[in-house]
Every structure is written in C-alpha cells, then in structure tokens.
Amino acid sequence: MKWPGGHLDGKSVADAVVTDERRRIARELHDVIGHSMSLITVKATVANHLADARPQEVRAALAVIEQTSRSALAEIHRVLDLLRADGDPHQDRLPAPGMADLPGLAAHARSAGVEVDLAVREGAVLPAAAAMSVYRIVQQALTNVVTHAGPTRCAVTVDVDGREAVIEVVDDGPRHGRPPCADRAGQGGHGLIGMRERARMYGGAFEAGPRPGGGFRVAARLPYDPDGSRAPGRVR
C-alpha cells in the first residue's frame, strides 16, 4: 500500500493511522482544556483578590467559572465518546463546534477581560470539518490573548467565500504597563503548533508573530473543496 513518502506494509500503515489519530485527539483535548483552564484561572484569580471587598464581582467570576467548566466537560465528553464509540452508529454524540459557536468564544474571552470585536462573513456554507478547524484556530488564538496579553483589545475576523476560510486574530498587547510575554511568538508552544497543523491539513497557510506597532497577530488560510476535503495546492 502506498503512503505519503513511500511504500509501507500493512502494519506500518496501521501504526501510522493510529499515530495520526492520537495526534488529532491530543490536539482536540489540548484546545478544549487549554482554553477553558485559561479562563478559569483568570476568573479564579479575580475572585481570590476581590473576595472581601467586592462580593458581587466574586459571584460573577464564579458564575463564569461554572459555565466554562460545564462547557469544557461537555466538549471533553464529546472527544472521549469518539474513542468509546469505535464506529458504533447507536452511540449518541454531541455535535462538533462550528461557525455558529464563534460568538460564544468571543463572549468567554470578554468575560476574562478581553474586549473582542468579532466579524464573521459567510459567503458560503462551510463544511463541518473545516468549520471545526476554524473554530479551534479562533479558540486557541483567543486563549493565547487571554493568557499572554489580557486585559486588552482584540479583533477577530473570519471570512468564508466558498473556496477558502481566512482567519485573522489581532490584539493590541498588554495594558497597564504589563510587559509582553517574551516567548509568545516561540514556535515550541503546542497552541501555535496545533493551529499551524490545522491549516496544513487543508493545504493552507499560517502566520503568527508580533505586530510592528505592538500586540500580536495570528492569521490562517484554509482552502477547501465543497465536500469538506482539503483543496489541492501547496502546503506551507
């Protein structure tokens, strides 16, 4: 059987498939847990500092923690159900996140102190698999903003034209004199690697780095065919 990069025997192909699946599942869990725990950590810190002086804000922070925890558990169960089902058509599965869930991501980031401007332009219906990749890229980009720059202002733009999905997430950098994270643009972080891999799956492009005037920019382009598969083209 032919496999990208050469000919492999049956066992090697099976091992490669298992490895790819493990990476996919690890990427899903990383995005879900990383996003949720970042928001929970921010809100728990707020609650701890304001416990005595501002009990009303503490209750609001706890409400965000509760909502975020429930959402994270639901997504983790969805990923784990994929493992348990093992092809069982009778296994109930939660729907995968997609374009309709982007406002929820923006709302979560706002609850952590990030002013998010979200603009979504859908000139065509994005296939489910590509829509989930768009969701995950935006999710991880916003997680990075919350973790490394918040509180700040952030603009999220998603443009779907029937041939490709283009994503851009830019922030203004930390406020109140907080120094920027020195290793934010490092290529070793799992978040940036995961976003780059999702773009590469579709033969697309990914960029991430500091902005000349301050702040950080993440941009991705995902070409796709109407059936949801990656469009032919050069992988970058």
Rg of the chain in Å (alpha carbons): 19
The confidence score (pLDDT) of residue 5 equals: 47
Q: How confident is the model at residue 108 (pLDDT cuts 50, 70, 90)?
A: confident
Residue 187 pLDDT more than 50? no
Report whether pLDDT(205) > 90.
Answer: yes
Q: Provide, rounded to the nearest whole percent, the portion of the chain with pLDDT above 70.
A: 67
**What are the pLDDT digits (tens) for 50-104?**
777 777 777 777 777 777 777 777 777 766 666 555 555 455 555 678 999 999 9
What pLDDT is recorded for position 56? Answer: 74
pLDDT at 167 > cutoff 50: yes
Please give the pLDDT value at position 3: 44
The residue ranges of every structural domain in the chain are 1-94, 97-236
Which of 165, 66, 72, 153 has the alpha carbon at shortest distance from 123? 165
Instruction: Please state which CATH number belongs to domain 97-236.
Output: 3.30.565.10
Question: Residue 58: what pLDDT?
Answer: 74
What are the start-end ranges of the H helices in the chain? 10-50, 55-85, 102-111, 128-148, 190-201
Q: With 70 as the cut, is the pLDDT of residue 26 above it?
A: no
CA distance 233 to 202: 9
Structure tokens at 138: 């935006």
Residues 134 and 131: their CA atoms lie apart, in Å, by 5
193 touches 206 (CB < 8 A) = no
Q: What is the 8-class DSSP label of residue 1?
A: -
Q: What is the mean pLDDT of residues 22-34?
A: 68
* Inter-CA distances, 10 with 22, 23, 24, 220, Å: 18, 20, 21, 35
pLDDT of residue 153: 95
pLDDT beyond 90 at 181 = no
> In the prediction, which pLDDT does 146 show?
87
- Closest by CA position to 113, among listed 56, 155, 151: 151
**Is residue 150 scored above 70 in pLDDT?**
yes
CA angle 141, 146, 151 (to 5 degrees): 130
pLDDT tens digits for 117-131?
Answer: 999 999 888 988 889
Q: How far apart are CA 220 and CA 198, in angstroms?
A: 9
Q: List Cβ neighbours of 49 (8 Å cut-off, separation of 6 or more).
A: none
What stretch of H or E contains 175? none
Residue 150 in 3-state DSSP? Answer: coil
H or E element that contains 52? none
